[in-house]
């Protein structure tokens, strides 16, 4: 039986150019969306209840197919370039006409909600999708509507994976497009079934809007200790951001996207979008348990279609297997999605060159320097063509989603550090005793011990040594960690090789920092010199 809709629900989409649709399904429950997805052949149900789907040729974000409409209100604010590409209003009009024409006579699913757990800064959103499972994804990832009428129009995403652009006519790079129109409060997504584009497009919008509300948007996880102290964990993929913040002794605020306003820290989302590949029931029990729950959406996880059992270790479809689930599926999570001003800020890096200390404390200037660089390393096999460790820099630990110049976000971070005096740390979860292929990855037990010592304040007054190349303050002792591990040079058999490797990486840091050197304060430039 199909749900009957009241006329105002259908009319509510006409201002978006969506008319002549099939049936419109508004804010369906998870069980109803399961039924629709199965009936439409969009996925399969695994033995323990999750909905398993495939995203086709796109198993990750299409970064080169994302555009902003170049329009007067935002043109002078956006940091235009390879990351933030422009498209004309006329090109947007053509794509809008194409996607609304494509959806005529088709059923659509509408999800209303919010991005932002702080009522002062929350953004009303509306997600219109072609697929039922994309609506379930949006239901899991965003904060549900409370039924009230928003004071501002919602920012809407129209998501139609089957609608393909014509590059010659539309001016796109390919048939795939993710286009943000800030003035019309509208995002168009076509040519890709990867649901992460929905999440990241709204995150991108928040990253544009929040600085104008004196709020720092952050690509980080956050949790709260028993003493009420909040901690932030910044880091790129593979550095341990989700794993290290999911700590049974602390309350999880969120695992990926947050704001830091005058009120404190708040989660942007109502759910989690975690990597599933080689997930361990012992190392990551909370996340692993979500793969056995009704309501979880699993993307590109290999499924035995006869027995309906999962193979989380298989990368047959992609290394980037994902799971989307409500944050309530994780035990010990915040009911409000909010925390106080952080006492500790942790930058995570996985240094595959084996030269950065496993833990070091940063000055304010060093914090802004490392925030602007956003360094980690890619290792052989993670991407096509990578055969040896390669530096990977992503400004603010989230450059693909930052529409403004990185210095804007760095200035806000500097203000927060000045106001609330958090301790800032750099923790290396990468290699020790040599580069990737020679050394070994730093023990997760040692990393957890260092994180616990940081958050418990046990490293605040420990004597430090200054790293001779990077100028970092290295604690000389840490409970649960051998002393020799704390100074990376001590772990290398060939000390001359370590020195050469450290100087080489510092040179890569200096080369990257030249992009920002003209915009930063003298103390940050001095920190850059000390690190290079």
Of 67, 403, 376, the residue nearest 206 (C-alpha)? 403
Cβ neighbours of 212 (radius 10 Å) = 10
The one catalytic residue among 219, 361, 446, 467: 219
Q: Determine the Cα–Cα distance for residues 489 and 482; give it in Å rounded to an integer.
A: 14
Of 34, 504, 409, the residue nearest 207 (C-alpha)? 409
Known catalytic residue: 66? no
The one catalytic residue among 59, 100, 242, 261: 242
CA end-to-end span of the chain: 67
Known catalytic residue: 458? no
Please answer whether residues 339 and 498 qualify as being in contact, where contact means their C-beta atoms are separated by less than 8 angstroms. Answer: no
Please answer whether residues 42 and 131 qualify as being in contact, where contact means their C-beta atoms are separated by less than 8 angstroms. Answer: yes
Which of 283-313 are b and which e, b meaning 16 or more Cβ less than 10 Å from the residue's Cβ? ebebbbbbbeeebbbbbbbbbeeeeeebebe
Known catalytic residue: 219? yes
Known catalytic residue: 440? no
The one catalytic residue among 241, 343, 416, 423: 241
Distances (CA, A) of 488 to 11, 240, 444, 475: 63, 19, 16, 12
Distances (CA, A) of 215 to 133, 264, 404: 32, 9, 13
Known catalytic residue: 200? yes
Known catalytic residue: 94? no
Q: Which helix (H) or strand (E) holds 230?
A: strand 230-234
Please answer whether residues 248 and 332 qualify as being in contact, where contact means their C-beta atoms are separated by less than 8 angstroms. Answer: yes
Q: Determine the Cα–Cα distance for residues 313 and 73; give it in Å rounded to an integer.
A: 47
Pairing of the two strands 473-475 and 257-261: unpaired
Note the Cα 6 to chain centre separation in Å.
37
Of 156, 263, 138, 130, the residue nearest 199 (C-alpha)? 138
Known catalytic residue: 241? yes
Q: Determine the Cα–Cα distance for residues 529 and 506; give it in Å rounded to an integer.
A: 10
The one catalytic residue among 94, 322, 378, 512: 322
The one catalytic residue among 111, 134, 200, 361: 200
Residue 64 neighbours by CB under 8 Å, 6+ apart = 85, 173, 174
Please answer whether residues 295 and 140 qualify as being in contact, where contact means their C-beta atoms are separated by less than 8 angstroms. Answer: yes
Please answer whether residues 164 and 189 qualify as being in contact, where contact means their C-beta atoms are separated by less than 8 angstroms. Answer: no
The one catalytic residue among 121, 256, 363, 394: 256
The one catalytic residue among 10, 86, 145, 237: 237
| Sign of the dihedral through C-alpha 247, 452, 283, 441 | positive
């953004």: which residue's tokens?
123
The one catalytic residue among 36, 55, 59, 61: 61
Angle between helices 495-513 and 364-373 in degrees, nearest 10? 80
* Dihedral angle of Cα 114, 118, 120, 124, to the nearest 10 degrees: 0
**Residues recognised as catalytic:** 61, 200, 219, 237, 241-242, 256, 322
């Amino acid at each position: 039986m199909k749900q009957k809709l009241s006329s105002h629900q259908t009319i509510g989409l006409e201002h978006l150019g969506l008319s002549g649709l099939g049936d419109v399904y508004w804010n369906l429950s998870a069980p109803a969306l399961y039924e629709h997805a199965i009936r439409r052949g969009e996925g399969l149900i695994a033995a323990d209840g999750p909905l398993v789907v495939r995203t086709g040729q796109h198993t990750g974000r299409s970064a080169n197919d994302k555009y902003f409409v170049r329009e007067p209100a935002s043109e002078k604010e956006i940091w235009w370039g390879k990351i933030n590409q422009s498209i004309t209003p006329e090109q947007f009009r053509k794509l809008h006409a194409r996607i609304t024409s494509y959806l005529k006579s088709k059923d659509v699913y509408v999800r209303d909600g919010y991005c932002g757990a702080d009522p002062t800064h929350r953004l009303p959103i509306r997600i219109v999708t072609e697929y039922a499972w994309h609506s379930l994804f949006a239901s899991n990832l965003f904060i549900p509507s409370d039924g009230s009428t928003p004071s501002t129009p919602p920012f809407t995403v129209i998501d139609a994976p089957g609608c393909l652009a014509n590059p010659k006519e539309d001016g796109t790079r390919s048939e795939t497009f993710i286009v943000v129109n800030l003035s019309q409060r509208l995002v168009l997504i076509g040519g890709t079934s990867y649901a992460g584009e929905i999440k990241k497009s709204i995150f991108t919008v928040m990253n544009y809007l929040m600085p104008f509300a004196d709020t720092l948007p952050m690509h980080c996880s956050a949790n709260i200790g028993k003493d009420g102290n909040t901690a932030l964990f910044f880091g790129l993929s593979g550095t341990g951001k989700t794993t290290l913040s999911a700590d049974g002794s602390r309350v999880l605020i969120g695992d990926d996207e947050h704001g830091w306003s005058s009120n404190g820290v708040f989660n942007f989302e109502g759910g989690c979008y975690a990597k599933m590949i080689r997930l361990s029931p012992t190392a990551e029990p909370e996340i692993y348990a979500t793969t056995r729950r009704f309501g979880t959406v699993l993307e590109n996880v290999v499924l035995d279609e006869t027995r309906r059992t999962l193979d989380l270790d298989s990368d047959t479809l992609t290394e980037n297997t994902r799971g989307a689930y409500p944050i309530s599926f994780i035990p010990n999570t915040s009911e409000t999605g909010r925390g106080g001003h952080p006492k500790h800020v942790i930058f995570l890096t996985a240094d595959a060159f084996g030269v950065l200390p496993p833990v070091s404390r940063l000055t304010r200037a060093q914090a802004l320097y490392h925030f602007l660089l956003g360094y980690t390393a890619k290792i052989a096999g993670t991407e096509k063509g990578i055969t040896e460790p390669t530096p990977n820099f992503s400004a603010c630990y989230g450059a693909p989603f930052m529409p403004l110049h990185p210095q804007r976000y760095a200035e806000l971070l500097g203000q927060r550090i000045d106001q609330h005096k958090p301790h800032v740390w750099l923790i290396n979860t990468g290699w020790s005793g040599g580069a990737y292929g020679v050394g070994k990855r730093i023990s997760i037990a040692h990393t957890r011990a260092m994180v616990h010592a940081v958050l418990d304040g046990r490293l605040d007054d420990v004597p430090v040594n200054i790293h001779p190349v990077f100028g970092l303050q290295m604690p000389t002792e840490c409970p649960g960690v051998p002393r020799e591990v704390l100074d990376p040079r001590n772990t290398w058999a060939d000390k001359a090789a370590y020195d050469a490797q450290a100087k080489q990486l510092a040179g890569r840091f200096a080369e990257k920092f030249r992009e920002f050197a003209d915009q930063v304060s003298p103390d940050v430039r001095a920190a850059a010199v000390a690190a290079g």
